[in-house]
Structure 1
Amino acid sequence: MIRSPDVARRNLNDLLAFVTVAREGSFTRAAAVLGVTQSALSQTIRALEQRLDIRLLTRTTRSVAPTEAGERLAQAIGHRFEEIEAELDALSAIRGEPTGTVRITCADHVLRTTIWPKLVPVLREHPGINVEFDVSYGLRDIVADRFDAGVRLGEAVHKDMIAMPIGPKVRMAAVASPAYFAANPPPKTPRDLLQHRCINQRQGAGGLYVWEFERKGRELEVRVEGQVIVNTSPLIVAAALDGMGIAFLPEEEFAPHIEEGRLVRVLQDWCPPFPGFHLYYPSRRHPSPAFSLVLNALRFRGEA
């Protein structure tokens, strides 16, 4: 039996509604994305579940989550809608002006110093392109969270992603205030950090960052302790300036304070250069014109 176009269109709309609710984890947010009322969206999902004769979503007073069947359906068809959206964005190239939204998750420092300065000219030249930034230190799942790309240090990028360098090599720096070292002898090796107060960094909702060192091919990891735990680099810098202990970040975050004597660097011979920040995205992604412009603008053209 051949289904009428109206039936096929209704089925596609219903599936899109389901995928959106599954991704957003909320009927309220999904309704806003789709431009419909929450009650209409709930009716659509109920009708879809009745037609398929299976529960797709588990609803509570605070959240919505896919059932096992719903998760299977979302994984099977979700990327198809993304491919359709990408192709529709690609059509904008035919009329000469790229449009669309590019979502990027990254840390605040690399956003301020590397990404934002490079994208400002692109946004000015192409008013149809929108960019959304998610500032996060956690290792986000960009596929599940529907980001177009993420930014991490090169060694942290998953092997199934396409990775592109957006900056030069990076060196870490261990620093503290002169007042702190006046009261505490500077560490001579990374293991000496265990006798110091250190400023810890929590990565997203995960564990504490483990400080990594290397010298003459010997790698060493140290789990430090201290009074202060934060999840953003500006607060780490501030805590170090206030004498709360030893901090550990890419050296450029401390550079002006080191140059002006507000912070003192230690263990420099244990901090060799390593691959810097990379923008990464799923290998199966077909870049839209807007995304291609962002890639081209962020590409590092110096010596990686």
Structure 2
Amino acid sequence: MRVLLVGGAGYIGSHVARRLSERGYIPVIYDNFSTGHRRFIDRFEVIHGEIADYECLRHFLKNVDAVMHFAARAYVGESVLKPREYYATNMTDALTLLNATVDAGISKFIFSSSCAVYGAPEQLPITETTPRFPLSPYGQTKAAFEDALKSYSAAYGLKFVALRYFNAAGADESGMLGELRSPETHLIPLVLKAASGHSPAVSIFGNDYDTPDGTCIRDYVHVNDLASAHVSALDLLIHKGESDVFNLGTGTGFSVLEVISAAEEVSALHVPRLILPRRPGDPPVLICDGEYARKKLHWSPQRGLIEILSTAWKWQIINTAVGAESAVC
């Protein structure tokens, strides 16, 4: 089975491509390389195209059996400042992909969603039935596209799975795939860059939250565990033909200070830090209830925080040696 990975040259998509290949599927990468990297996916068939190009999509969709959609703008803070761009890419352009998929007669669609759809929930852990109240245009566009999928499923027979990631982190154990973006906004790569002296002190936005150490708590899930979940979601669509939505997380939260402490343990280096005021809209705690994914997807994460940090540290060491410039298309 051939699977089109739209945005497949990015961080999560490239890991998913490898897992699909290992399971006997044929990944086909469709990317404009605005943020993706060719060296991540150079072993696969690659199409250089835009998600907004309906005719290009229709041409290549003729030769695939399922679609996985990763392409999106994904900076929460930026989305508040540039909502127009986020709605254009994450909704208008994404609907072009969805229309082309339906018009091509493809019935299997997997969507890269986010726990940002929940906003700041009052009850924890977060289940799939927790009300969605996204706080940012990023989260709003993810929620809106989920709604579009439900409507298209009811009207056109499309079968979909939306995967709500919690905090994706880590790198492939080989050290050949990992996070590579500019600007970097994710905590773990920022912490490791600060440890190695390749960036300034890591910023901690608020140390007065109602948490044990005063810093925000998040649920970190290894990128290869996320990749495995995508394969499980595709298997579900093939064998069950049922649309569904799943949370993807570990069910265990770690505070910013706990992540920094664990990073110091893994790297054997001190992580300089700077305490800053809270950022507007940052929920104190976000932790996943992954029971539904365990039961129906038969998926559960296999790696914890130390494995996440260890693989991310290995990736940073190798990537620094190679030189970041050589990795960018």
Query: After TM superposition, is the score higher than 0.5?
Result: no
